Amino acid sequence: MTDLAQGLRLRDDFPGLLTGSGGDWHYLDSAATAQKPNAVIDAIARAYGPDYATVHRGVYERSANMTLAYEAARRKVAGFIGAASDSEIVYVRGATEGINLVAHCWAGTQLGAGDRILLSTLEHHSNIVPWQIVAEKVGAHIDVVPLTADGRIDLDAMAAMITPAHKMVALAHVSNVLGSLLDCRRAADIAHGVGAKILIDGCQAVPRIAVDVQALDCDFYVFSAHKLYGPTGIGVLWARGQLLDAMPPYQGGGSMIDKVTFEKTTYAPAPTRFEAGTPHIAGVVGLSAAIDYVQAIGLDAIHAHECALVGKARAALEGLNSIRVFGPQDSAGILSFEVEGVHPHDVGTILDETGVAIRAGHHCAQPLMRHLGVEATARASFSLYSDDSDVDALVNGLERVRKIFG
């Protein structure tokens, strides 16, 4: 048992874990979306209740106070990921919108016919489809970095295949299927060696490992709040200031303007230029509370805790006949597997009957499924509120699956 598991009874902070099958529920789907602690729920309730007002536009006291909280959250996000300035933090609806923004506003204006984009085999659809859209629009081409035998992005292969024609590289920091961790700094060095920019999808990284975008030396970094124990509908795009300054707006509307006439509109500086309309105010407040919650526990402690649970689960599953486990031994918080002869949806349904919630499907990673030679996998994902009882329940549930299907 890790120090984290021996310490605070963190489950008690999460009301979503207190209900379920028979009152005993084991939530192992945090990679899809994390449960929310009371601290986040309370912050959102206050933001929609006694503190509620719009931001940036009101001259009355409550609006001014909400604006202060909104911009304080931007500074907190900047510190959380090691940004050089809070002006490099753009609020978006989630990582998906962040990637689409970069694809539209940077790649869509900087790439042309014959240029190339480099992705990897394990990317989430959100880090594939936006690049396909922009590639088709400008006449660029997409290349795909293969994986190592244990399911990591093969950086040796990346170094061998990248050329000066590659202008953008987009890779996942942690795979949402395999839990494999990317050496972002080496990937950035390879990309920058040919003059390419690199975007990192940090959705599965920020809830479980410390991130410093300056140390990683990437150019863009995106993540969603809801996987970080925060609310849905809010996320973050970080980009180097000079890149944001050179990018055109993503959407037009209120807030993102300098001056509007029917003849010409001029735009506000970054990040305001990319935040058209009334923002998700309560979502930003909830994100701020989620960062406070995670930092009070410590990302190093969270990562060690999750790795210990994944190690225990992997050892138990590998000891069961007819179960195949995917990904590297040191996967970060995520464990995908298949039960021979049983569709993952059936696995998930039977586990649900035993009070265990997992993910079953292609996990928005169909190219990776084809690489693995399967249509889908079952996936158990751990978090700071997971404990040994979750692993035991998973293993016992899989024993039931095997008995039912012989």
CB 396 within 8 A of CB 403: no
Catalytic: 307? no
Q: Report d(CA 346, CA 339) in Å as an integer.
A: 10
Strand 377-381 with 359-361, pairing: antiparallel
Tokens of 135: 């590639």
Tokens 């690199």 correspond to what residue?
A: 198
Contacts with 20 (C-beta within 8 Å, 6 or more apart), sequence order: 26, 27, 355, 357
Burial-class residue 266 by CB neighbours within 10 Å (0-12, 13-18, 19+): exposed
Q: Report d(CA 217, CA 209) in Å as an integer.
A: 16
Tokens 């997992």 correspond to what residue?
A: 358
CB 11 within 8 A of CB 387: yes
CB 157 within 8 A of CB 128: no
Residues marked active site are found at 364
